[in-house]
Amino acid sequence: MNAYDGLIDQGSVIARLTEAVASAADELAGRLGASMTHAWLFTGPPGSGRSVAARAFATALQCPSSGCGDCHSCRTVQVGTHPDVDHVVPEGLHLSIRETREIVSRAARSPSLGRWQITVIEDADRMEDRTGNTLLRAIEEPPPRGVFLLCAPSPEDLLPTIRSRCRLISLRLPSVRAVTDHLVRREGVDRAIAQFAAQAAGGHVGRARWLARDEQGRARRRDVLAIPAAVATVPRCFAAAEALVAAADNEAAAATVERDASELSALEVAMGVGGSRRPRGSAGTFKDLEDAQRSRLTRSKRDALDRALTDLAGFYRDVLVLQLGRGSAPVPLTCADLGPALAATAAATTTEASLRRIEAILDARAAIEANVAPLLAVESMLLALHAS
C-alpha cells in the first residue's frame, strides 16, 4: 500500500509526483530540489481523479517515507485530520472572498510538524475573479514551506495570472478496464456489476463506485435513460421535465437535510438559544448559516441534475456511434445495457438529429450553470429533443 493506490490508470502522473516528492525531500535536507515548486494545478475531466491525485501528493509530501500509506502522517492526511494540510472543498455556488481570505490566512502559518503547510483547493474553478485575485497574492508570495494544490477541469478555468504560476499536472479518464479492476480488487464489488458500472460511468471513478454500490442510483439512471422514449409528444416533454427536476431536487434534499439540521442545532447550542427565542444580536450569524445552506442546496441540485443530463448525453452519444459505425477500432458504449433502445433510435433518426440533441443537452447544462431556472432549461431541452 502507498499514497497513490487510489489513483487509477495515471502512471505518468504518479511518476511526476514521485519525482517532485523526492525533490521536496532534498529541499528539506538543504539540497537543491529542482522538481519541487510551491504551486500546482491538477486538471482533468470530472472523474479523472484530480482531488485524489492532489491528496495523494499531499500525503507523500508529509510522509517521512515519501508516501508509504501506513504511517500516522499518511493516515491523518487521508482522513483529513493532519494539522498541516488544509483541504478545502467548496460546497456552495462559489468560493466566497471571505472564505478565501481565511484560506490564505491559514496557508501563511508555519507547519507544526516541520515539513510543509499544504493547502488543497478542490473545484478551484468556482472562484470569482476577485476571489482569485485574493488567492493570487498568496501564490505570488508564498511562505517558505507553503504549498498550494489547486484542482480544476482545465487551466482555462482559472485566472491566467494564477495558472501561469502553477506547475500543471494533467489527468485523463481511466480506462473502463482499470476502473473495473479497481472496484473488484479494492472495493470488493462483483465483477459483473463493476464492469457495468465502469462502462456506464464512462471511466468516471466516483460515479462508477456510486452505480456499483447504490441500487437507487442505478434506478435513477434507468429513469433518466427512459426519457428518449418519453418525448414523443409535447405534453409528455413537459411532464418528463417536471419529473426530472423534481427527482434532482429530492436527491439534493436527501443529501443535505440531516447536515443542515445538525449545523443549526450546533449553532443554537453555541449561541445559547433557549426555547424558540434567539439571543439579541445573533440574527446575522443565523442568516450567514442559512445563506450557506441555501447555496449548498442549490449546488447539490445542480450537480444532481447535471449527472442526469450527462447520462442523457451519453445515450445520444452512443446512438451517434452506432449511426457512424464503429470501424476497425470498436468504440465502447456507455449505455450498452440499453442495446435495443440504442439500435431503434439510431435506425429511426439521422446523425444530424443526434448531434442536435447532444447540443441541446449541452446547452441546457450551460444554461443551468449560468443560473437559468432548471425547469425552464430542461423543458427547452426536451422540446428540442422532441423537435429533432
How many percent of the chain have pLDDT more than 70? 96
Least confident of 23-32, 196-205, 277-286: 277-286
Distance (Å) of CA 73 to CA 2, 127, 148: 12, 30, 18
Question: Residue 276: its pLDDT value, please?
Answer: 62
Nearest partner of 260 among 301, 295, 230, judged by Cα: 295
Alpha-carbon gap, residue 181 to 178, rounded angstroms: 5
Mean pLDDT taken over the chain:
89
Question: Residue 382: its pLDDT value, please?
Answer: 95
Question: Residue 126: its pLDDT value, please?
Answer: 86
Nearest partner of 203 among 4, 47, 363, judged by Cα: 47
**pLDDT interval class at 191 (50, 70, 90):** very high
Single-letter amino acid code for the residue at 245: V
Alpha-carbon gap, residue 132 to 121, rounded angstroms: 12
**pLDDT interval class at 329 (50, 70, 90):** low
Residue 285 reports pLDDT greater than 80? no
pLDDT in tens, 175-188: 999 999 999 998 89
Question: Residue 275: its pLDDT value, please?
Answer: 56
Question: Residue 130: its pLDDT value, please?
Answer: 80
Spell out the SS3 assignment of the chain: CCCCCCCCCCHHHHHHHHHHHHHHHHHHCCCCCCCCCCEEEEECCCCCCHHHHHHHHHHHHHCCCCCCCCCHHHHHHHHCCCCCEEEECCCCCCECHHHHHHHHHHHCCCCCCCCCEEEEECCHHHECHHHHHHHHHHHHCCCCCEEEEEEECCHHHCCHHHHCCCEEEECCCCCHHHHHHHHHHHHCCCHHHHHHHHHHCCCCHHHHHHHHHCHHHHHHHHHHCCHHHHCCCHHHHHHHHHHHHHHHHHHHHHHHHHHHHHHHHHHHHHHCCECCECCCCCHHHHHHHHHHHHHHHHHHHHHHHHHHHHHHHHHHHHHHHHHHCCCCCCCCCCCHHHHHHHHHHHHHCCHHHHHHHHHHHHHHHHHHHCCCCHHHHHHHHHHHHHHC
- In this prediction, residues 307-328 reach a mean pLDDT of 87
Could you give the angle at which helices 205-213 and 191-200 cross, rounded to 10 degrees? 130
- In this prediction, residues 371-377 reach a mean pLDDT of 94
> Which residues does 107 contact at the CB level (< 8 Å), separation at least 6?
86, 117, 119, 138, 142, 143, 146, 148
pTM comes to 0.83
Cell numbers standing for residue 216: 437507487
Q: Which residue has the higher pLDDT, 134 or 33?
A: 134
Q: 375: exposed, middle or buried (C-beta count within 10 Å: 0-12, 13-18, 19+)?
A: middle
Distance (Å) of CA 70 to CA 55, 76, 195: 15, 10, 30
Alpha-carbon gap, residue 246 to 4, rounded angstroms: 39
Question: Residue 53: its pLDDT value, please?
Answer: 95
**pLDDT interval class at 377 (50, 70, 90):** very high
- In this prediction, residues 278-295 reach a mean pLDDT of 76
Residue 327 reports pLDDT greater than 60? no
Residue 328 reports pLDDT greater than 70? no
Alpha-carbon gap, residue 174 to 176, rounded angstroms: 7
Residue 237 reports pLDDT greater than 80? yes
Alpha-carbon gap, residue 48 to 205, rounded angstroms: 7
**pLDDT interval class at 326 (50, 70, 90):** low
pLDDT in tens, 13-60: 999 999 999 999 888 887 776 778 999 999 999 889 999 999 999 999
- In this prediction, residues 292-296 reach a mean pLDDT of 83
